[in-house]
């Protein structure tokens, strides 16, 4: 079915002139002056309103920017505080680990010193250690009281030689008797008399020191 083609095409009137309203200049000069002053006042009022609105817009924009800047600053400060706290905790952990390590090192040094002292009788001067113990005993007991000194068989001759040297320097007789005892390790000794006794036991001294240092040595 054919479309209805009954309309007519008309050219656009390019030469049409649109009328512009002429200003109303009727009235006296004084009336025109008043109307002009009123128009200028209205323009100034509009201009003042525009300036005020710009000022409000700028203030709101500044406040919004300031608020955002404060939020960013607070977030940065919070992040920095978290990082500082984490750093302090790490330093504290390292400091504690260093102190623990130093304490254990000190304990190990003390144990090594105890080993050296306890083993002095064997490794350095076993007879000298026993001789010093005899001197301490003689200083505490009455003269002439018999003292029995039990030592390892390997040390009997050396201990007797020390006693002979001590007797040569003492005008009174020293009642010191040396007895072999295979159960005693070289360097250990048992010194007894009627009312007491002294035991030189390197292993026992080391065990006592180790018991004191055990909390610092850990495992």
DSSP secondary structure letter of residue 23: P
DSSP secondary structure letter of residue 189: E
* Tokens matching residue 173: 């007789």
Q: What is the pTM of this model?
A: 0.43
**Residue 153: which pLDDT band, with cuts at 50, 70 and 90?**
very high
Give 61-90 as a DSSP string: HHHHHHHHHHHHHHHHHHHHHHHHHHHHHH
pLDDT tens digits, 61-86:
878 777 787 888 877 778 777 788 87
Return the bridge partners of 176, or none: 147
Domains along the chain with CATH numbers: 119-217 (3.40.1260)
SS3 call for 191: strand
Please tell me the predicted confidence (pLDDT) of residue 219.
47
What is the arrangement of strands in the sheet containing 189-193, beginning at the earlier edge strand? Answer: 176-180, 147-151, 189-193, 196-200
């Amino acid at each position: 079915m054919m479309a209805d083609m009954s309309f007519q095409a008309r050219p656009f009137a390019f030469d049409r002139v649109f009328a512009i309203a002429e200003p109303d200049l009727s009235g006296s000069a004084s009336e025109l002056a008043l109307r002009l002053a009123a128009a200028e006042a209205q323009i100034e009022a509009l201009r003042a309103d525009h300036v005020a609105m710009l000022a409000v817009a700028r203030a709101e924009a500044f406040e919004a920017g300031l608020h955002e800047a404060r939020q960013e600053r607070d977030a940065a400060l919070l992040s920095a505080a978290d990082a500082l706290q984490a750093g302090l905790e790490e330093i504290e952990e390292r400091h504690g680990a260093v102190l623990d390590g130093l304490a254990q090192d000190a304990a190990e040094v003390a144990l090594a010193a105890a080993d050296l002292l306890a083993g002095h009788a064997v490794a350095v001067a076993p007879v000298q250690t026993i001789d010093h113990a005899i001197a301490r005993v003689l200083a505490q007991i009455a003269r002439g009281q018999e003292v029995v000194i039990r030592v390892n068989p390997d040390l009997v001759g050396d201990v007797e030689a020390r006693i002979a040297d001590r007797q040569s320097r003492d005008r009174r007789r020293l009642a010191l008797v040396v007895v072999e005892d295979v159960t005693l390790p070289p360097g250990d000794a048992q010194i007894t008399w009627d009312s007491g006794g002294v035991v030189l036991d390197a292993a026992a001294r080391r065990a006592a020191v180790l018991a004191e240092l055990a909390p610092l040595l850990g495992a």
